[in-house]
Amino acid sequence: MNPRRILTIFGTRPEAIKLFPLLHALEGDSRFASVACVSAQHRGMLDQVLTIAGIVPAHDLDLMRPDQTLDALTAALLTGLGGVMDAERPDWVVVQGDTATAMAGALAAYYRKIPVAHVEAGLRSGNIHHPWPEEVNRKIIGTIAALHCAPTETSAAALRRENVDPATVHVTGNTVIDALHWIVARSEADRALVGGLAELEARFAGKRIIGLTSHRRENFGEGMRAIADAVRRIAARPDVAVIFPVHLNPNVRAVMQAELAGLDNVALIEPLDYPHFARLIAISTLMLTDSGGVQEEAPALGKPVLVMRETTERPEGVEAGTARLVGTDADRIVAETFRLLDDPAEYGAMARAHNPFGDGRAAARIVDLLAAP
Ligand code: UD1
Ligand code: UDP
């Protein structure tokens, strides 16, 4: 039998992280002919992941433009990804999550009647403006997909509530746990992979480290300034240091550089590659973030996570007590952070390794679903 042709499409850092375990699994499986296509909606941050995971895409659309708009990006994605599909004529198109690349990839496949498999299906915040535009992107993909790989029973149930055919919905776990296991094992085998934080670790010795990331579009402007204000107030404590790998989006960098550069207890650094970011979580007392992926990784590594968003599509961490929604009000962010720093009982209750997102075998399950008759 001819191997099944799988075209896996992605464009940003988190998609690459969550898809490399699947690409590794497809690569070693004779049931498939696997082709990777990157839109390169991200460039440097995507390439960091491709390098560490050893992924060489067959197609690279190199679409990233500085400060790109959603409509220009989406238009370029649709035509570019459609062209790749016409050339490859795959049996399945695989997309992950809720980015513009994933949404446009699903739509271009639908226009060609190619079935779409959606990895990390069924996440819903219930609010189309938080996160924006991701909530609508994933609903569009959910309407199109023929195979929904839901990370948890909660996400599977969300799809069934939207009348998605239950026979197409499978709980696979989230491939982020596969990726995290792989990266932690690699870093343990080769400590040089995580040596790049040594200088900061020495500079902040004796302080409690807070790892911080922020990039959501709905937080641009006022939200970003409030987050910066909170960071300044938190880092005014002599016992605390904030390590903040700053996303390359200029809307994030401009504010954070202007508000936080030069503070003693704040390190604004370039985006870390995945081994170093996992190391940052490991050396942090807690994580402050508006990221999706970090909400999954921090609980898996036993670190409390304060989520600087109004809603989350990942309620599992909040329900388990390892994550808390704190919004983007500076007073609230500061108060919740100080509560965790100053109340050992509160901290202890949140700091337990809890991993509702998977067992590290999600990619193997997805591969079997793609192989099914
Ligand atoms: C995108 C996704 C978001 C995801 C995030 C992960 C959409 C609409 N948004 O948001 O869902 O959570 O990625 O990080 O798909 N840039 C660089 N180099 C890079 C990456 C970005 O310079 O490697 C800059 C560019 O100026 C680019 C801008 O960041 O125009 C925004 O990138 P874009 O992918 O449009 O949006 P993100 O905010 O990164
Ligand atoms: N990450 C990374 N380096 C960094 C910041 C984050 O490798 O400097 C990883 C992180 O471990 C997680 C993913 O990037 O797996 C999250 O990406 P991001 O926050 O950009 O997007 P989101 O998950 O919100 O879509």
pLDDT digits (tens, 9 = 90+) for 44-92: 999 999 999 999 999 999 999 999 999 999 999 999 999 999 999 999 9
Beta strands in 66-141 (DSSP E): 92-96, 116-119
- What Å distances lie between residue 370 and 20, 105, 106, 115, 116, CA to CA? 16, 17, 16, 11, 10
Cα-to-centroid distance, 41 and ligand 1 (Å): 7
Q: What is the DSSP secondary structure assignment for residue 1, as one 8-state letter? A: -
**Ligand nearest 279 Cα, by number?**
2
Tell me, yes or no, if the two domains 4-174+358-371 and 196-351 fold the same way: yes
For the chain, the domains span 4-174+358-371, 196-351
State the pLDDT at residue 354: 76
- Round to whole Å and give the CA distance between 170 and 334: 40
State pTM to two decimals: 0.98
Contact 42, 21 (CB under 8 A): no
| Nearest-atom index, ligand 2, CA of 134 | 25
Q: 245 CA to middle of ligand 1, Å?
A: 14
pLDDT-derived band at 355, boundaries 50, 70, 90: confident
Fold of domain 196-351: Rossmann fold (3.40.50)
Q: How many whole angstroms from 281 Cα to the centroid of ligand 2?
A: 11
Sheet (strand 208-213) strand order: 266-269, 240-245, 208-213, 286-289, 305-307, 323-325
Statement: residue 144 has pLDDT above 90: yes
The pLDDT tens digits of the residues spanning 271-329 come to: 999 999 999 999 999 999 999 999 999 999 999 999 999 899 999 999 989 999 999 99
pLDDT at 1: 74
pLDDT of residue 12: 98
Q: With a 6 A CB cut-off, is 271 part of the ligand 2 pocket?
A: yes
Task: Name which residue sits closest to atom 17 of ligand 1, judged by CA.
Answer: 248
- Looking at the chain, the whole-number percentage of residues with pLDDT higher than 70 is 100
Q: Which of 149, 256, 153 is nearest to 212 (CA)?
A: 256
Instruction: Name the residue with the closest Cα to ligand 2, atom 14.
Output: 14
Q: What is the pLDDT of residues 108-136, one digit of tens each?
A: 999 999 999 999 999 999 999 999 999 99
Instruction: Report the alpha-carbon distance of residue 229 to residue 258 in Å, rounded.
Output: 11
**CATH fold for the domain made of 4-174+358-371:** Rossmann fold (3.40.50)
Amino acid 352: pLDDT? 81
Cβ neighbours of residue 364 under 8 Å, at least 6 residues apart?
25
Starting from the CA of residue 73, give the closest ligand: 1
Place of tokens 């085998």: 189
φ and ψ at residue 161, rounded to 5 degrees = -65, -25
Which tens digits make up the pLDDT trace of 215-254?
A: 999 999 999 999 999 999 999 999 999 999 999 999 999 9
Atom 25 of ligand 2: nearest residue by CA position: 292
Nearest ligand 1 atom to the CA of 14 is 6
Q: Does residue 114 sit in helix, strand or coil?
A: coil
The one catalytic residue among 13, 59, 118, 120: 120
Whether 18 lines ligand 1, by a CB cut-off of 6 Å, is no
pLDDT, position 42 = 98
Mean pLDDT (the chain, rounded): 97
Question: Nearest to residue 209, comparing CAs of 62, 337, 324, 26?
Answer: 337
